[in-house]
């Protein structure tokens, strides 16, 4: 009689403990992200950190890749329009699942984007991860354009200049933030 009772109690404990744990609303990406955490460090060719300024704004949104390219994308913009100093990440959401790593350079035809593309405006230079001098990688931990959507990634890369023999730059660190509205200057073609 003791043995069946012990087995019943053990079964009950196992059943109850199976329901305990982290509940992430059924998704596999964890709890909601509600604030931006930008720990990226951009450095110029001399190793000096880039300063995007005290007025830098951050936008994370989902929509077409560009006004003339319908590819569904998640985009991140951090910086200022005036004076122009910013970085912008474009991610083709159909190409990226959590855990995906994209190596650079990531070359593609402009109207057939794929994976992820990082562009940095640092006058007088412009850098991008589709240039031949780019290398390294970005890894996405989270990428979701749905309700309570968010992006989370780490990066360790060298980014080549778009101006031929212009200087390279580096970027390392992590970024995460919730999806929101695009900036007022964003043109989705509608």
**Who's near 79: CB < 8 A, 6+ residues apart?**
52, 53, 56, 57, 85, 86, 87, 88, 121
139: alpha, beta or left? (left if phi > 0; alpha if psi -120 to 50): beta
> Which residue in 41, 26, 119, 123 sits closest to 75, CA to CA?
119
Q: Vertex 61, ends 132 and 68: CA angle to 5°?
A: 60
> Which residue in 79, 73, 117, 77 sits closest to 93, CA to CA?
73
Three-state SS for 3? Answer: helix
Place of tokens 């087995």: 7
**Read out DSSP for 86-118?**
EEEEEEEGGG--TT-EEEE-----TTS--SEEE
CB of 71 closer than 8 Å to CB of 113:
yes
What is the residue extent of each domain of the chain?
22-178
Token pair in block for residue 29: 């990406």
Token pair in block for residue 170: 């580096």
Three-state SS for 10? Answer: helix
How many C-beta neighbours within 10 Å does residue 118 have?
Answer: 25
pLDDT at 189: 67
Over its length of 190 residues, how does the chain's per-residue pLDDT go in tens digits?
444 433 333 333 333 333 333 333 334 467 889 999 999 999 999 999 999 888 999 999 999 999 999 999 999 999 998 889 999 999 999 999 999 999 999 988 888 889 999 999 999 999 999 999 999 999 999 999 988 899 999 999 999 999 988 899 999 999 999 999 999 988 776 6
pTM confidence score: 0.82
């Amino acid at each position: 009689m003791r043995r069946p009772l012990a087995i019943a109690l053990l079964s009950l404990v196992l059943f109850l403990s199976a329901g305990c744990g982290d509940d992430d609303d059924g998704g596999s990406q964890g709890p909601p992200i509600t604030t931006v955490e930008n720990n990226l460090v951009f450095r110029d060719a001399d190793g000096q950190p880039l300063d995007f300024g005290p007025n830098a704004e951050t936008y994370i949104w989902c929509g077409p890749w560009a006004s003339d390219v319908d590819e569904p994308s998640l985009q991140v913009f951090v910086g200022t329009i005036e004076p122009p100093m910013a970085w912008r990440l474009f991610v083709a959401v159909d190409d990226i699942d959590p855990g995906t790593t994209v190596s650079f350079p990531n070359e593609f035809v402009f109207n057939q984007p794929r994976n992820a593309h990082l562009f940095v405006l640092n006058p007088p230079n412009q850098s991008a991860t589709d240039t031949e001098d780019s290398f390294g990688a970005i890894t996405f931990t989270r990428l979701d354009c749905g309700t309570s959507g968010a992006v989370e990634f780490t990066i360790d890369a060298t980014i080549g200049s778009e101006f031929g023999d212009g200087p390279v730059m580096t970027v390392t660190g992590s970024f995460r933030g919730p999806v929101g509205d695009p900036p007022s200057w964003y043109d989705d073609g509608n």
